[in-house]
């Protein structure tokens, strides 16, 4: 019984660890996607509203 309890505890711990890892991965993916979107938006705004370039 103790062996089964320890096995179930280890399985639950591994499941919780995998869930936390997947949550962290999804959070990092969303953060990277938002950063890329903000970067593209900033580049688009800079290109759209860029001041006239000084003649070299």
Condensed to tens digits (0 to 9), the pLDDT of residues 1-17 reads 888 899 999 999 999 99
Nearest to 2 by CA among 10, 15, 14, 16: 10
pLDDT of residue 9: 94
Q: Is 51 left (phi over 0), alpha (psi -120 to 50) or beta?
A: beta
- What value does the mean pLDDT take over residues 27-40? 96
What is the four-CA torsion angle of 19, 24, 29, 32, rounded to 10 degrees? 180
Structure tokens at 52: 């006239």
Query: What token pair was written down for 55?
Result: 């003649």
pLDDT band at 27 (very low <50, low <70, confident <90, very high): very high
User: Domain residues of the chain, as ranges?
Assistant: 1-42
- Confirm whether pTM is higher than 0.75: no
């Amino acid at each position: 019984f103790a062996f089964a309890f320890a096995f179930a505890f280890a399985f639950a711990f591994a499941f919780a660890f995998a869930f936390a890892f997947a949550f962290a991965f999804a959070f990092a993916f969303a953060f990277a996607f938002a950063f890329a979107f903000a970067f593209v938006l900033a580049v688009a705004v800079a290109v759209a509203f860029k001041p006239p370039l000084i003649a070299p």
